[in-house]
Structure 1
Amino acid sequence: MRKGYVPSSFGQLHYVECGDAAGEPVLMLHQTPRSWTEYLDVLPLVGAERRAVAMDTLGFGASARPEGPFSIELFADAAEELADALGLDRFHLVGHHTGGVIAVELAARLQDRVASLLLSATPFVDDEKRRTAAARKPVDHVDPVPDGSHLLDLWNRRRGFYEEGQEAALTRFMVDALSVLDRVEEGHVAVRAYEMDRRLPHITARVLAVCAPGDHYSLPALEKFAAALGCETRVLSGGHVPLPEQLPGEFAKTVLEWTAAG
């Protein structure tokens, strides 16, 4: 794996890549509040056949953190700048959860520059989701307390998504979440405010929407994406919210097959 930074109008953006730098590029975008490590085991598998790049979303991981409010459009601005800086003239795009929402915006604005789009467990944001956003409970917000019990609270909020033996992946989540604890919820807020349904008609790339069978948050979105885009959908063999970490082999195989489809 090769780690690097590129300059941007926001500050430095961090990324990690595997594979031949001259190979067909695949840009992978992670969920909130994660970092590139969500694709830790996927990168070398995709990199065996492609130029696999995973970036830290603006405001997360080791990428620059703007002071102003987050938005999907802002995240996409930074991703576009990274793609430009890395010379990704035409590339495949993969996004998981929040990363999928960012990928929708990026594909809508770049159109034919995106060779294909793979949306993994991506929420479908429509008028209903925006209307009810204020009433939804925080996903990852915890208030720090002197005895540190908020750390266990944060762990337990995500514990049900991971099986026994997957504590290393959950620990990576904790590292990512704690590094942005003061703004940990803002990515979720940005998703709920995004006008996705108005951007979907601008996508020209081939689209595949996939989801883990245990991810009941995002599974219903497959039918909505199929109806809105006429795209293919697929339910993978297992997993939950942290699908790329739980089934890296199947996830990478799906990416490679889809990006090779034409």
Structure 2
Amino acid sequence: MTLRKGYVPSEFGQLHYVECGTGGEPVLMLHQTPRSWTEYVDVLPLVGARQRAIAMDTLGFGASAKPDGPHSIERFADGVEELADALGLDRFHLVGHHTGGVIAVEVAARLKDRVASLLLSATPFIDEEKRRTAGERKPVDLVEPKPDGSHLLDLWNRRRGFYRDGEEAALNRFVIDALTVLDRVEDGHVAVRTYGMDLRLPYVTARTLAVCAPGDHYSLPALERFAAALGCETRVLSGGHVPLPEQLPGEFAETVLAWAAAG
């Protein structure tokens, strides 16, 4: 199916999105840090075959506007809300992966019944303990630019263990996205660690499913605790690691479509 690219205005500048398909209630997908819509490049046409599928570049990432000032989950959610309003998404299904899942929690807490369903993929659970120890966390993707370009290999190797042999094209997409925001590559992770998620979960009213890849040792250990705090169902998919939507696009898309249709 054809992917259609577009921009909408916002108070921060233009927001970039890509969509596919026209039928059914819209499905809006939010990516992890420091990625872009390309995390869903293989998922979009599969979801778009049955529903209108949209993947946006989070404010500050990809081809979306990159405003000055500190990033926060609340500001990321402002961008999502502005895009949804500009596209006329009066009611839509919301999908978020890793950081995108954290943003999706904030959006769902704000928009309530406007979010028809919520699918949170490998979404970390942020509570007071996580916020208290945020400053002790090691950088995830931060590299120091070097004149000889060796930082490119460093960036590659920081994520290499998440990808299997033969998945280098997906890893290339990660490197491209990270290089686009190299001066602020860690800011999304910082925003996640300082977000008051546990304080916002009671405001989420959408029917919610939390999923994770069995190899994602970052998010899987907290999956049941997160689900208990939110009061939602959980599912561990058949394989994959941190880049789950790229590794299992078929299973990921079917899970999205089945959950969207379950209500």
Partner residue of 1:149?
Answer: 150
User: SS in structure 1 opposite 2:262?
Assistant: coil
Residues 20-99 of structure 1 correspond to what in structure 2 (within 5 A)? 20=22, 23-99=24-100
**What letter matches 1:36 in structure 2?**
W
Aligned match of 2:12: 10
Q: Which stretch of structure 1 is more off in the superposition, 215-224 or 6-15?
A: 215-224
What amino acid is the match of 1:14? Answer: H
Could you tell me which amino acid in structure 2 is paired with residue 8 of structure 1? S
Offset, 1:230: 1.7
Q: Using the alignment, how far apart are the partners of 2:39 and 2:133 within structure 1?
A: 29
Q: Partner of 1:198 in structure 2?
A: 199
Alpha-carbon shift at residue 229 of structure 1 (Å): 1.9
How far, CA to CA, are the matches of 1:114 and 1:225 in structure 2? 20
Runs of 4+ in 1 over 4 A off after TM superposition: none
- One-letter code of the match for 1:204? T
Matched, 1:111 2:131: no
- The letter for the 2-side match of 1:50 is Q
Secondary structure of 2:220's partner? coil
Q: Distance in 1 between matches of 2:231 and 2:151?
A: 43
- Distance in 2 (CA, whole Å) between partners of 1:23 and 1:5 is 22
Partner of 2:183: 182
The Cα offsets for residues 27-67 of structure 1, whole Å up to 9 and x where unpaired, read as 00000000000000000000011100000000000000010
Give the Cα–Cα distance (whole angstroms) in 1 for the partners of residues 73 and 118 of structure 2.
17
Shift, 1:167, TM fit: 0.1
Unaligned runs of 5+ residues in structure 1 are: none
Shift of 1:227: 1.0
Give percent identity, aligned residues only.
84
- Residues 102-149 of structure 1, C-alpha deviation per residue, up to 9 Å, x if partnerless? 000000010000000000000000011111110110000000011111
CA apart distance, 1:226: 2.0
Give the distance between the partners of 1:229 and 1:6, measured in 2 at CA: 32
Verify: 1:211 aligned to 2:227, yes or no. no
SS at match of 2:19: strand
TM-score by length of 2: 0.98
Letter in 2 for 1:113: R
1 CA distance for matches of 2:172 and 2:64? 20
Q: Deviations over 1:54-102 (max 9, x none)?
A: 0000000000001010000000000000000000000000000000000
Matched residue count? 261
Q: Which runs of 5+ in 2 are unaligned?
A: none
Tell me how far apart the structure 2 counterparts of residues 64 and 230 of structure 1 sit (CA, whole Å).
35
Q: What is the root-mean-square deviation of aligned Cα atoms in Å?
A: 0.6
C-alpha distance in structure 2 between counterparts of 1:237 and 1:219, whole Å: 13
